[in-house]
Structure 1
Amino acid sequence: MQNALQLPAPHPGLALPAKQSLTYSVDWRVFSAGTVTFHQEADGDVQRINVVGDSIGAVNLIYRVSDRFQSSFNRRSGCSAEFSKQLIEGRRQVNSDLKFDYAQSKAILDDRNLVSGMSKHQETVIPSCVSDLLSAIFYTASLPLQAGQSFQIPLFDAGKTIPVTMKVEGNESIKTPTGTYQTVRVQPTADAGVVKNRGNIWIWYTDDERHMPVQMRARLFWGTITFSLTNIDQSSY
């Protein structure tokens, strides 16, 4: 088994939304680069997440991005069930489906490059419970977030289970188009995988029982990308 790290169960006092849509503007340096919408919906014991991300404006002319992601995790345990993506990034087009079979202790990946026609099937041994890259953002919201503390998530990424440390750095007031929020700032760090390769990453969650992510930022070698909350779909409540 690659990693014996246990995933803490979601805190019963911090409710995951039954239905919610959050839309963000995406800014790269001083440019408006795109929009991203995260939709969450409870389906029994399963929390389903769908993401739509598209580039806009001048960025669209240089490097068009039209990405779709889907993931789900268990609302009681936090364990991911599946993660899939359909990417159009410039000339690159890739579809990927990842399923977690805990009974067989396997992660099963099927990947297809729509441009070259190449396919990949991969099966990897996993521990009894892992998270995926998308679910981890909202799973983290289900845990107590107290400044100065940290916890680890066994994250399956790039064919490996990687321990990701979620460091709760402190409190901060954040202004977005939807208002000003008192937040708690969390920084994910890891020794390998996408989290490491994306430079420095921060997520600002509201400092209340919702723990709603109102801002996300990745500081990369070629610039900084910031996601800022522009709309909350209140019809879901």
Structure 2
Amino acid sequence: MKLLPAFLLSLTTLVCSAALRAAPISFGDGERFNFRVSWGLFSEAAEITIAARAEQSAGLSQIRVTTTTATRGMIRKLYSFDGRAESVFDSTDGRMLAAVASTSTKKKKTHAMAVFDYTAANVRYEDYLRPHRSLNIPLPAGQPMDLITSLIESRAWNLKVGDRRPTTVMFDDEFYDLTLVAEKIERVETPTGTYDTLVIVPLMEKDPKGMFKRGGTVRVWISQDEKHLPVKLEVSLKYGTGTAWLTDYRPPFTPVALRQP
């Protein structure tokens, strides 16, 4: 069971990716996704909720995307895990402004925040529980966001099979270059129905690190209907595969338009 946290961390704190052009983020005010996570023989190992809301701060229009994760059922009795991540974006151009994430188990807690300064091309990373790890990080070109957000964001790019999109991803206190590849069309059955989907795979093709260096893979299935929903997310590691199935979806108060890649 001690292997489950690595999967949950990979799936939910892959948090903190896409080098978007000057265009608003595709998440809409009031939009919400609920996922059920299966792991091995456990069909209800955890739940993930991703929700967005519009807000104003000092006259700036923002979108706050909140991801919460918690183990459930028998898994929770064996291993209690709770995670929460919030990413704040400028709703006019899609730039990530700040990200904060925390996790909690019986044996370990994490709590860190990153604040983006585009004028100074710098990110201030604060580790509240391990202050010695706090540091300033040079901000790379592009507009990074968390990987889960970027995978869902890919629904707005109108990708076709074979398309490739470069991304910049923040894992904890480091940035990595990835490429999102539109791999194939696949029909999948989910708790919310059967869909023809576009399978998108993030690859770390240059100097792989972390889970990618260890042979891990991530995939997202985007429905090819008018909603373009992420109906399935998957993380495969050497010791197993975890899958998040979309079980409930609440649309935004105002529809969000697709963008050309």
Q: TM-score higher than 0.5 here?
A: yes
Identify which of 115, 119, 122 aligns with 1:99: 115
What residue is the counterpart of 2:15 in the other structure? none
Does structure 2 retain, via aligned residues, the 8 Å contact 1:169–1:187? yes
Unaligned runs of 5+ in 1: 1-5
SS in 1 for 2:159: coil
1:198-213 equivalences in 2 (<5 Å): 199-213=216-230
Identify the residue that residue 98 of structure 2 maps to in structure 1. Answer: 82
C-alpha distance in 2, partners of 1:74/1:196?
32
Does the CA-based 8 Å contact 1:70-1:85 persist in structure 2?
A: yes
Give the alignment's TM-score, normalised by structure 2: 0.78
- TM-score using structure 1 length: 0.85
CA separation of 1:211/1:90 partners in 2, compared to 1, >3 Å: closer, same or farther?
A: farther
2:40 equivalent to 1:23: no
- Aligned 8 A contact 1:112 1:119 in 2: no
Q: 82-91 or 224-233, which moves further after superposition?
A: 82-91
Partner of 1:129: 142
Correspondence for 1:183 among 193, 197, 209: 197
Q: Report the equivalent of 2:184.
A: 170
Name the residue aligned to 2:257.
Answer: none
Aligned residues: 228
- Tell me if the contact between 1:97 and 1:109 (Cα under 8 Å) persists in the aligned partners: yes
Alignment-derived partner of residue 142 in structure 1: 156
5+ long unaligned stretches in structure 2: 1-17, 255-261
User: Which letter maps to 2:125?
Assistant: L
- Alpha-carbon displacement from aligned partner over 1:108-152 (angstroms, at most 9, x marks no partner): 111133xxx655311011124331324323332321211111111
Task: Write out per-residue CA displacement over residues 36-55 of structure 1, whole angstroms, 9 at most, x where no aligned residue.
Answer: 11102234753321011110
The structure with the greater share of residues assigned to strand is 1
- CA distance in 2 between partners of 1:87 and 1:107 (Å): 21
Tell me the amino acid that sits aligned with residue 60 of structure 1. Answer: R
- Partners in 2 of 1:187 and 1:29 — Cα distance? 21
Alignment RMSD: 2.5
User: What SS is found at the alignment partner of 1:165?
Assistant: strand
Identity of aligned residues (%): 21
Q: Which residue of 2 aligns with 1:230?
A: 247
Equivalent residue, structure 1, for 2:21: 9
* 8 Å CA contact retained: 2:87, 2:97: yes
- The answer as to 2:54 corresponding to 1:54 is no
> Which structure has more RCO (C-alpha within 8 Å, separation ≥ 6)?
2
Q: Is 1:10–1:75's contact at 8 Å kept on the other side of the alignment?
A: no
